[in-house]
Amino acid sequence: MTKEKPTGSEVKIRVSGLSNGLHEYHFSAEPSVIGLEPNFRSPVEIDVRLDKITRQMFLRTVIHTSGQFQCDRCLDEFNQRLSTEYSMFYTYDEIDATKYPEDEVTILQPDQVFIDATEDVRQMVMLAVPLKLLCREACKGLCPHCGANWNSAACKCEEETIDPRWESLQGLIDN
């Protein structure tokens, strides 16, 4: 097993002349180099295990980073830690490629020197961002009347009164 810490900030692995066997790499890349938005401020930490046999390689990647986001309920800024992983098969043979799902295999050119996983890492980080961004699971949100943040203080707004046209339907809710 070979352990390497490549230089540079892109996620490129030299495969030309790479010996068969298990190889491990660690990358630390600035978010802007990978193409992430400015709200990603901490380095993207990437651990790669590459298992190579004669005409194929199996790459397993684990990614850790964090980003600054705005809560969907209370609009406060918060830091969210993100972790994700993905696997990819690389082969030089198109026939071997048909053995794997189309989105999990890449065909390499015979003269290809590097595998550049930078774009794959960027996409996986973006997919790791939750659809519903919450500063915490129990976030109370904002008062719809005065806009007070219910996480930090209670507001003085009166409880919502029911429109008299809908009062007859209240009995259905109470049952």
pLDDT per residue of the chain (175 residues) written in tens, 0 to 9 = 556 555 456 789 999 888 999 999 999 999 999 999 999 999 999 999 999 998 899 999 999 999 999 999 999 999 999 999 999 999 888 887 888 888 888 888 888 899 999 999 999 999 999 999 999 999 999 988 888 899 998 888 876 666 777 777 777 766 5
Q: Please give the torsion angle defined by the CA atoms of residues 32, 35, 37 and 38, in that order, rounded to the nearest 10 degrees.
A: 10
The domain ranges of the chain are 2-139, 142-175
What is the predicted pLDDT for the residue at 7?
47
What is the predicted pLDDT for the residue at 1?
59
How far is it, in rounded angstroms, from Cα 93 to Cα 87?
18
What is the predicted pLDDT for the residue at 139?
94
What is the predicted pLDDT for the residue at 36?
94
What is the predicted pLDDT for the residue at 6?
53
**pTM assigned to the model:** 0.79
What is the predicted pLDDT for the residue at 62?
98
Please give the span between the terminal C-alpha atoms of the chain, in angstroms, as a whole number.
67
How far is it, in rounded angstroms, from Cα 115 to Cα 134?
36
